[in-house]
Amino acid sequence: MRASDPSPPVDAPTEELSGHAWGVNSEDTLIDDARTGALPDAAPAPAPPTPDGQVDPATRAFSVSILISGIRCVLTYVIFPWVLPLLGFAGGVGPTIGLVVGTVAIGFNLASIRRFWVSDHKWKWPITVLNTSVIVLLLVLLGQDLAELI
């Protein structure tokens, strides 16, 4: 439901429109709480920074692990097979570098999982599933790199 809709839900008293139950966020979408069962239109806000202005360590570990996994994919599927050969460099370095970067990426994903569990973060289960999925994909890529080297 958008803020421009003509009326609030029937079961929401008018006085609650400016209070806790209903409010309008910066994107002009109605925000509802659990009492009505409706979902907000906007995505949840990112984790707030810690008191010293830094992002919490679990969120940072997750971001770094996903970044490294993404870099590995860009190297494997874009740089090594397409860009380096176009520039005249040998294309055979991909599997060797893929093994190194893939191993580092798996380590960072494991560290991310550990950090979320040690901090008892509210997102520990979804992050564990996501990181585990990335690790499985990286293990498949490591196997392919090993097979290409042998």
What pLDDT, in 10s, does the model give residues 20-42?
Answer: 444 444 444 444 444 455 545 55
Q: Is 66 within a domain?
A: yes
Position 103 in a domain: yes
Note the Cα 52 to chain centre separation in Å.
23
Number of domains in the chain: 2
**pLDDT band for position 138 (50/70/90)?**
very high
Domain co-membership, 71 together with 138: yes
Same domain, 93 and 129: yes
> What is the average pLDDT score of the chain?
74
Report the alpha-carbon distance of residue 149 to residue 30 in Å, rounded.
56
CA angle 143, 149, 150 (to 5 degrees): 90
Measured on CA atoms in the order 135, 106, 79, 150, is the torsion positive or negative? negative
Whole domain around residue 35: which residue ranges?
A: 1-45
Q: What is the pTM of this model?
A: 0.54
Distance CA 66, CA 28 (A): 32
